[in-house]
Amino acid sequence: MKLFNLQLKQASPYLSYGVLVLFAIFCLFYAFYNGNNCASASVNPSDFCKRIGITIQNNGASETYSPVRIPFNPEGMTSLNYVDNFGSQALSSDDTYNPINYMSQSLSSTASAGWWFVMPSLPTVTLKNMEFYVGNVNQSAWRDNGFYFYNNSTSTDDVITIPNNANFNLTDNFNLEADVVLTGTSGFTCPLGTPSADSGFIIDRWDSNTGYALGVECEQGVMYNFIQIEDTKVRASTSTFNTRYNLKGKYIAPDITLLVDDVSAATGTKASMSSYNSDITIGNGLRKVEILNAQISKNITTTNDIELRYNFDPTDVKELEALTPYYTGSILDVSSNNHHATYSLNRPQNYSITIASATGIGLQQLVDNPQADIQVVNTLSSGLAVVGNENSNFPFYPMLNSIATTSGLPRQMTFGGLFAVLAMIVSSIILLATRTIPLAIFSYGVVMYLGYLNNFYAIWYVLIIIFILVATYGSSKFLSEGF
């Protein structure tokens, strides 16, 4: 140790300054390396570049599963790569990482448009925090945009209207179909006592026992799926809440079949039905229900022609007018039959909303905003051996990934060994430059911690190595200096 200390004293002071400058350049390069400015963005939540903090205060009565309109510039969101051309690669959650569903729209619009976030709980006069994570660079955050229907008993129904067309005059051999998410029975009155259902219509061209319809209803505290063919209703109870399922009603005279996820749930008969002329509506009576797509097919036993279909993709849904509490817009029919629809919403927005600027997720946030960005590092309570998704944006990741894949060793062992070598080089340079062993140990730990931060290996590996280095240095000082 003494010989090594003498050699250090002969080092040029310019070497110290040069090494410190190089170390600073390395840190800056790492923090701002990739073009999307999302270094270390795969940590937690994984793979997102930016975080938009949103606070909502409900100034009215307490609400559940209520839609809150957050204004965004959709074209700006795509040009900044916050979302892709399909409106995906973004995720929303509360501050405890529970997902929050939302409906985006007007994706090509350069003007402000409302994206509707469905808040599971909004107590009165209480601040709620929401995090909107955007820019999934690995293109893995795909989501199915749906249309959410809400009625809090103080407003009229949210409704989609499809203009009447002779092709809707179906009397046999057709399907009514939709992918649906029910939040529960709380939105419905679910009348008890005298049987009287509180019905919501997913596809509705029915009135006074004429026409056809597909929907859900609540009666005696139980939720049902149903298909209505004139005066005949076929239904089956359901307890599938907050989970997507496919609902289909099929009529091939005289048989009526209700299917859930392509499994028959109930059957009935109707000898024949007559034609009924009317607009088709979606949403009448629906309360706190999301429809992910809706479709009508005809000639299902022969050519199986899709007459209309709505996917509700952000590119298909466009907000036209926003005059609180009334909102209108258009929805494209993707069946190529041009049955384009319009929507109208009545949603009082008794909220105070604050939208923060987008901030990066990653190493830069350790400096910029350590208090707010609690998502940077997994807590130790999550398990010392837990490893998330590797950060594919790390400098030279393709080369490191190739080495780890072809080495024949466990992946974490390979990355751990590579970072241990890098840490040894950096700490040796720091030791030569500063002549301070504790600082060298600290720099060694920083490099190893960066490997953990990017999910290349578990935290226990870093802790064990740092413990060994500190214990070795401490015992050396103790033996050399005595009591």
The domains located in the chain, with CATH, are: 2-31+378-481 (no CATH), 48-144 (2.60.40), 159-312 (2.60.120.200)
Average pLDDT over residues 57-79: 92
Q: Which residues pair with 53 in a beta bridge?
A: 131
* Measured distance CA(167)–CA(299) in Å, rounded: 12
Q: Could you tell me the pLDDT band of residue 368, with boundaries at 50, 70 and 90? A: very low
pTM for the predicted model, two decimal places: 0.69
Q: Is the pLDDT of residue 386 over 50?
A: no
* Measured distance CA(318)–CA(160) in Å, rounded: 13
CA distances from 79 to 4, 84, 108, 142, 203 (A): 56, 9, 10, 18, 36
What was the pLDDT predicted at 121?
A: 92
- Name residues whose C-beta falls within 8 Å of residue 406's C-beta, 6 or more positions apart in sequence: none
DSSP, res 249? E
Rounded percentage of the chain residues whose pLDDT exceeds 90: 48
For tokens 């293109």, name the residue: 139
Tokens coding 88: 């995906």
Q: CB 139: neighbour CB atoms within 10 A?
A: 10
SS3 225: strand
* Measured distance CA(363)–CA(234) in Å, rounded: 58
Q: Is the pLDDT of residue 210 over 90?
A: yes
Could you read off the pLDDT of 244-254 as tens digits, one per residue? Answer: 999 999 999 99
Higher pLDDT, 97 or 327: 327
Of the given ranges (118-122, 150-154, 309-313, 319-323), which has the lowest mean pLDDT? Answer: 150-154
Tokens coding 333: 């029919």
Q: Which residue type occupies 315?
A: T
Average pLDDT over residues 4-14: 49
What was the pLDDT predicted at 395?
A: 77
Q: Is the pLDDT of residue 97 over 70?
A: yes
What was the pLDDT predicted at 257?
A: 98
Ranges of H-type helices in 32-170: 74-79
* Measured distance CA(447)–CA(480) in Å, rounded: 29
* Measured distance CA(176)–CA(258) in Å, rounded: 10
Average pLDDT over residues 254-269: 98
Higher pLDDT, 265 or 3: 265
Higher pLDDT, 70 or 367: 70
Q: CB 325: neighbour CB atoms within 10 A?
A: 15
Average pLDDT over residues 68-94: 89
Average pLDDT over residues 170-188: 94
What was the pLDDT predicted at 483?
A: 41
What was the pLDDT predicted at 31?
A: 46
